[in-house]
Amino acid sequence: MMLVRYLSQIGRYFIMLREIFKKPTKWSMMRQLIFKEVDDLIIDSLGIVAFISFFVGGVVAIQTALNLTNPLIPKYLIGFATRQSVILEFAPTFISIIMAGKMGSFITSSIGTMRVTEQIDALEVMGVNSLNYLVFPKLIALLLYPFVIGISMFLGVFGGWLAAVYGGFATANEFITGIQSEFIPFHIAYAFIKTIVFAFLLATIPSFHGYYMKGGALEVGKASTVSFVWTSVVIILCNYILTQLLLAN
């Protein structure tokens, strides 16, 4: 019975994706909606992303340095490990899971509140495609999400550099040598491919849970929690699949 319910939900999700692109809203209105979503989802997220990335980068560098107890191991590996950790996993994946909590809860609660207060029904009565009106601007706004992850990568590595150099674990030249050592440009492409997939999930899964929720104000909170859990689960699954496809030989 539970399997049937999950399959039904997955089917409804893909039907929702199809409906998003039908009967588009007028561009004059859509442009305003997109700018609002960019402000709410992208600009408002920069502060928390910058703060977390900077300090986690520093922690990665310190922990790497503390584990290099053998004097024969070169210090530049601190920079190498920090770069690999931040670019491959921390920035694209773990920031996305954090954003599933911040962005996802905001999206679910805002759409869910509209459902509870019958604003979505009012849009439908006026002949507006409510899914296009509500979800499409979020998809377009989150095309800028790789920009957020790019900032996260830079600040993570920069935080690692400051922690390593001013903590006395490595010199600036050693850390920079580590950053440049055995650099594979495709790793950046891999990170941004993951980021684009995660951005799509961050826009659509919370929207799905908000749009199809039933009940009152209490259910809006429950829907936000469920949306965060499922967005995180799907991000982690997609992370595994994309890593296997793009990096495994």
Q: DSSP of 121-183, one letter per residue?
A: HHHHHTT--HHHHHHHHHHHHGGGHHHHHHHHHHHHHHHHHHHHHHTTSS-HHHHHHHHHTT-
With cut-offs at 50, 70 and 90, classify the pLDDT of residue 149. very high
CA angle, 7 then 12 then 17, to 5°: 130
Q: Which sign, positive or negative, has the C-alpha torsion 107, 109, 97, 208?
A: negative
72, pLDDT greater than 70: yes
pLDDT value at residue 239: 92
Query: What residue has token string 């039907």?
Result: 15
For 37, half-sphere exposure in the C-beta direction (CA atoms, 13 angstrom radius) is: 26
Query: Could you tell me the residue ranges of all domains in the chain?
Result: 27-248
Contact 50, 151 (CB under 8 A): yes
Q: How far apart, in whole angstroms, are the C-alpha atoms of residue 84 and residue 191?
A: 11
With cut-offs at 50, 70 and 90, classify the pLDDT of residue 232. very high
Q: How many residues does the chain have?
A: 249
Tell me the pLDDT tens digit for each residue of 79-133: 888 888 899 888 889 999 999 988 888 899 888 888 888 888 887 888 788 888 8
With cut-offs at 50, 70 and 90, classify the pLDDT of residue 147. very high
With cut-offs at 50, 70 and 90, classify the pLDDT of residue 249. low
Tell me the whole-structure pTM to 2 decimals: 0.89
Kindly report the average pLDDT of the chain as a whole number. 87
